[in-house]
Structure 1
Amino acid sequence: MVTHTAPGAATPAHDRPADGLRLRRDAELSEADGRLGVSGPAGTLRLRDLPPGAKAALSALATADVTEADLTATVVAGDGLAGLLRWNMLLRQLAMNGLLEYAADGVRLRPAGTGPVEPAAPLDPDTRVRLSRFAVATAEDGVLTVRSPRHPGVVELAPAAAGLLGALADWTTPAELPGDERALRFFAGAGLLTRTGEEDDRSHAQWSPRDLWLHAHSRGPRVAARYGGSYPLRSRFGPEPASPPAFGGSRIPLPRPDLELVAKADPPLTEALERRRSVREHDPAEPITVRELGELLYRSMRRRDVFTGDDGQQLADRPYPSGGSVHELELYPLVVSCQGVEPGLWHYDTADHALERVAEPGPATGILVDRARAAAVMEADPQVLLVVSARFGRVMWKYETIAYSLVLKHVGVLYQTLYLVGTAMGLAVCGLGGGDATDFATASGLDYLTEGSVGELVVGSRRGA
């Protein structure tokens, strides 16, 4: 079996032909049993009975940028003029399968997802265009990459061509722009240009660039090839353990409820669903107890089992579902008033069903309480603020484009679990719509990028319960 793999590094601008194309850099051309195959993120394109000229041209595409004139000469030399029609059909097939990259004088158009990518037709010189407000530019391997969240194509700009971005910041025409007009065709082909005001169309105006980026890249492989369990960090880092490091503070073992008795006393599921409300008022005369807090955490969040997956990652089982069983969420009860628990920030140990001390009450924890009180529109401080955090590496070691969207889904199912259990127990539960991850990092001492807050709920005793 002979294999040719397209290199990952971008070809330097001075080495590129003025007009060329090649197989996408993450594609692989292989031959087995006399049959050629081109493998990409969307699968393998099988090619049967290719004549020698087409085989030679395809091999050239797999190794470097090649001009269409050189490809034509290779095909004609091997297959004669009659082979050109079949070759052009094959090129079209490769383009429609998102398997080609295009280069022109310091600018490159390449696919990043599984959808088709081609340069657009030439624009009229007087057409007014502007860079889409959804375009995102990043620096990668010495070039600027520009993308739209709605398109599988990426435009790469060498430093000499980067000025085109600034020129497209406002309305302009192709006739007024510097450089090769093919660069503008690459921008249009990657969905990076708008010819109308995007703010005037409701379907576009309602989206912020950040939200549309997250939505598009977490909902399928068309615009992001490494979709699902792609294990982006496996080659550099090992997986994180199921349990986080202990904080080392004082510990409170929590009472474990008898689930058989709980099941007999609980209202039916439908009743709990129908009774569920966000309750923002707590009973100051009878604050929530350590037994009630322990039961709420045990029934909602405890770790029931831990096991090792086929990929070597420690996985867990809890009462609520988690994608891939990674269970990256942690709970930090910030206690203001709870019978049996001193005020301060605590961490819930899901494995041992215990609370461990994280921080004493102070200005940093006070800010979290004040923000929660304001967000819940409460007249008094909440008795307990449950801060939901995520150990991001637990998810991001395995998942790439969908990692953060998975975290948010997990927060949602944990919210519902806490709501239903709290309702069944007669507690006051209210989920909050937002919080400040920087404030939590300050209060907990945790690194913002390693483990950060992603949700908050206030919990307390319910009047008359």
Structure 2
Amino acid sequence: MLIRRCAVLLLEPREETQFHLEQLLRGGDGLVRTLRCMALAPHLEAPIELDQEASAWLATLSPNVWIRLEPGSHQEELALPLVQAGLLVSKDDDDSDLARRDTRLRTVYWHPLAAVMHAFSRWDGVDAVRNMQESETETAEQMRQTLGEPPPEAKVMSLKGASTVLPEVDGNAFDALLSRRVTCRNFDPMRPVPLNMFAQMLQRTFGSRTRFKVGEDLVFLKKNVPSGGGLHPIEAYLVVQNVEGLDPGLYHYRGDTHELERLPSDVAIDRDFVMELVGQQHWFADAHVLVVLAPRFERTFWKYRQHAKSYRVVAMEAGHLSQTLYLAATDAGLGAFITAAINEKHAERALKLDTIAEGVLAVCGFGWRAGSMTTTELDPAGVIWHPAPA
């Protein structure tokens, strides 16, 4: 039997704590702590618990060099459940689904720590609102009471005589636009977004202004946001709910050609789908358009191979895109939002993404703002929701 270890593996000694009344009555602190060894392999969907012998043996195996195990040996006996779990790859079964996912991970050039972090920070079936309610952190007042004193809102260096008070500069139209940039949590589901406005939003945020070709197959797109290496890996998948002339459903925006592609889907794109997508955050569920920001990691990792910064520049690009979306929406008189409290696996299944080479980072969206504020929005200056006269 020829085997090798999977491409990326992190062994995590994980301590779990439970309250036991008996332990408290015997004079202890009532807490029973259990130490478990968990194997985190990003080509797998969940961590796998290992015993001490298996974890110690795995740590000695190469992810690249095949080794032969003698038939009937203790090591072969130890290897069989690890092959079945996907932590080892057998040369005799290297066409299995788990083995193919391991091979795919090798060809995408993930940095190992980034691959583990991305794979195991994805949600599925999480209710973010209920979590806040149960942890008593739903409102600012609750957060202060539950979490205690927060770090200060700004860092003060306390360097006497070393600071310079800068002049206040008169604002212009751009400053006025920035002041109106407020995260929208109240959308008007009765008023559709015009098709031209929808098209302008996509063109400004995700569209390409020009293209530059090098050789036969290397093409760089010039967009309105910066991108690591100029590679622009993030795709925009749209959940269209209320746009004039478009049927509700799932779409993909082609930024290079300014085209909208309707995705074939057997998933019902209804309120339940949207609520699950945004982690039950009902204040975003009525947005006219929701945009799933889904990077093709292999595009960036093609240049930055197993690079410690490669995942970071992709995440930064999602921030650039969301801010551009906010400003484009504000300029058009629309509201916008972005959230990372999402069920990524729900989106991956609906979009049929290759979860080794592609993924979901965040969901943003836009639409007409409602006429009244039902859910609180952070607008302390009253630029959007004008305070009532005293």
TM-score normalised per structure 2: 0.49
Greater Cα radius of gyration, structure 1 or 2: 1
TM-score normalised per structure 1: 0.42
